[in-house]
Structure 1
């Protein structure tokens, strides 16, 4: 939310505006707990220090502010072929997206676009990068049109986390949930090659254990997401590894009824680089 022209996070103000009827019944200690849990003070510090940046410049500034870097290895993509979809596992939930935007922009020498949950459009410095998808209702017609327009532009690389949600701990260890087929069908439709990327990282044991407890209690809402800002600040000073796989030509895919299995096959390629 903007305050005096500056972007700031204000939990109290958001609750007052979003749930005015229930706001007066929310105990103050609950509001304070939420502020601490989402690291409101620390997040506003980053927004203040990166003020005036947006898109990939905001990502670069954020990584520098947190003292976070990444190393890239593997197959370096053809900078001249921007008609691609970059797909990656999603281990962290926030920093991996920021790092992917930073890396892809530098790799291709142009701003990329990123398909995300429409709730993330609240992150104003990245609204010029994000392509919002409504996962909880009907897609806005304007947003749907923008997605098609961008996919049809061969000069814009596109990044997608096909799992949607960040990785969870399960039988495979820490790994993505099911990969959605959208990227396969879009690759076939718009003749976009696919670049598989493996991002080596993980959140704290607390995050995964909380997620498992939530599931055992039968709670469907992913309330563990409220702890993702805490995971960001726990990652201060870390270095991550990004492995880029060989580009997969769009002609190798059929899409349609074959798309779910093809999405799984690409997921296996990504985890094969671990």
Structure 2
């Protein structure tokens, strides 16, 4: 099956809308305030030109405009609006592999770090609207999408509340989308490839009796992104500096084509003791990358 994303119209209502503790305004996202809320000392130490640079590469102005212009839209409706804004052409194959499945755990590669997740939510959401996606907790600052997300900390220890919410979701009938690598793909020996897939999704599939849908997503970031990652690694810097550029990388994806391929479901019962969980994770990863042969 192939489809191209449908265009959605924007609301003209100019009223502010309250979303939990956030109020959607023309400046919903304030980079300096986000830094201050997480590390007051760092916020005081950072000079103005650094803050301004962060505002630029994080596209604070454009993100705020998107949030505000679509302030009446939430969840999957907001997902459609974002795809529309980026004028992305999404091609989907293997949709029959999820049509008759329920309570699945979708495991996908993570080539982009932004638009790939949005595209997956749209593709799956058109068949199964009841979805949740574990994401970097920074994305919770996007109020229009918050209802689709489960917060997973990438900057520190996972909160007890986040763990409980993840377990509660897995125990429910909601379909869960998951990036087992936890990070956007890197360039490895000249190829765009995920880093090691963590075994968590195998453990959760078994304990919550969820079949796994192996899913391949095409795409790549700019050479700059991979170069920064390589330099950081060379100097032994642990902080994931390149992550700061993912918003900018997403805006570079305008007018690009993405292909999503859903593979055949893998029964959770297959993940037996013949392999360790980490070996099963590697096995599923290999299946995912083999799907690109269909392109």
Identify the match of residue 57 of structure 1 among 52, 77, 100. 77
Unaligned runs of 5+ in 1: none
Pair 1:37-2:70 in alignment: no
SS of residue matched to 1:180: coil
* Other-structure match for 1:210: 228
Rounded to whole Å, the distance in 1 between the matches of 2:37 and 2:151 is: 23
* Other-structure match for 1:268: 286
* Other-structure match for 1:226: 244
Identify the match of residue 146 of structure 1 among 145, 165, 175. 165
Pair 1:107-2:127 in alignment: yes
SS of residue matched to 1:209: helix
Pair 1:185-2:203 in alignment: yes
1:97-124: CA deviation from partner (whole Å, max 9, x where unpaired): 111111111122x220112233433332
SS of residue matched to 1:107: coil
* Other-structure match for 1:124: 143
What's the offset of the Cα at 1:261? 0.2
Q: Contact 1:185/1:256 (CA < 8 Å) preserved in 2?
A: no
* Other-structure match for 2:113: 93
SS of residue matched to 2:99: coil
* Other-structure match for 2:178: 160
The size of the alignment, in residue pairs, is: 272
SS of residue matched to 2:247: helix
Unaligned runs of 5+ in 2: 1-20
* Other-structure match for 2:48: 28
Q: Contact 2:98/2:262 (CA < 8 Å) preserved in 1?
A: no
* Other-structure match for 1:245: 263
What's the offset of the Cα at 1:14? 3.2
What's the offset of the Cα at 1:130? 1.4
What's the offset of the Cα at 1:142? 3.2
1:179-215: CA deviation from partner (whole Å, max 9, x where unpaired): 0111111111121111111000000111111111111
SS of residue matched to 2:90: strand
* Structure 1 length-normalised TM: 0.90
1:23-80: CA deviation from partner (whole Å, max 9, x where unpaired): 4543222221111111111211211222122222211111111111200113522434
Rounded to whole Å, the distance in 1 between the matches of 2:247 and 2:141 is: 14
Q: Contact 1:75/1:246 (CA < 8 Å) preserved in 2?
A: no
Rounded to whole Å, the distance in 1 between the matches of 2:149 and 2:280 is: 25
When structure 1 is superposed on structure 2, of 264-273 and 214-223 the one drifting more is 214-223
Rounded to whole Å, the distance in 1 between the matches of 2:193 and 2:114 is: 15
SS of residue matched to 2:133: strand
